[in-house]
Structure 1
Amino acid sequence: MTDRPARARELGLEPHPEGGWFRQTWRSEVEVTVSDGRVRPTATLIWFLLPPGESSAWHRVASDEIWLAHDGIVELQFGGDGDQPVAGEVARVSTSEDTQVLVPAGVWQRTLPGTTEALVSCLVSPGFDFADFELA
Structure 2
Amino acid sequence: MPERARMLDLAPHPEGGWFRRTYTSPLTVELPRGPRAAASIIHYLLSDGEASAWHVVRSDEIWLWHGPGTLTLQLGGSGNEPVDGETTVLGGDTPNGERAQAVVPAGVWQRTLPSEGETLVSCVVSPEFHYDDWVLDAPAG
Structure 1 partner of 2:62: 66
What do residues 91-130 of structure 1 show as CA deviations (whole Å, max 9, x unaligned)? 0112332111000001000000023000000000001111
Q: What TM-score does the superposition give when structure 1 sets the normalisation length?
A: 0.94
Asked if residue 43 in structure 1 is aligned to residue 44 in structure 2, the reply is no
Asked if residue 22 in structure 1 is aligned to residue 19 in structure 2, the reply is yes
Residue 73 of structure 2: which of 59, 73, 76 is its match?
A: 76
The DSSP-based 3-state class of the residue aligned with 1:29 is coil
| Sequence identity (%) | 54
Letter of the 1:102 counterpart: V
Asked if residue 8 in structure 1 is aligned to residue 5 in structure 2, the reply is yes
Structure 1 partner of 2:109: 108
Q: Give the Cα separation in 1 of the matches to 2:28 and 2:46.
A: 30
Q: Give the Cα separation in 2 of the matches to 1:59 and 1:49.
A: 17
Task: State the number of aligned residues.
Answer: 132
The DSSP-based 3-state class of the residue aligned with 1:57 is strand
Letter of the 2:49 counterpart: G
Gaps of 5+ in 2: none
Gaps of 5+ in 1: none
Query: RMSD in angstroms over aligned alpha carbons?
Result: 0.8
The DSSP-based 3-state class of the residue aligned with 1:8 is helix
What do residues 67-96 of structure 1 show as CA deviations (whole Å, max 9, x unaligned)? 001012110000000000000111011233
Q: Give the Cα separation in 2 of the matches to 1:51 and 1:132.
A: 26
Moved over 3 A (4+): none
Q: What TM-score does the superposition give when structure 2 sets the normalisation length?
A: 0.91
The DSSP-based 3-state class of the residue aligned with 2:53 is coil
Greater strand proportion = 2
Q: Give the Cα separation in 1 of the matches to 2:115 and 2:8.
A: 20
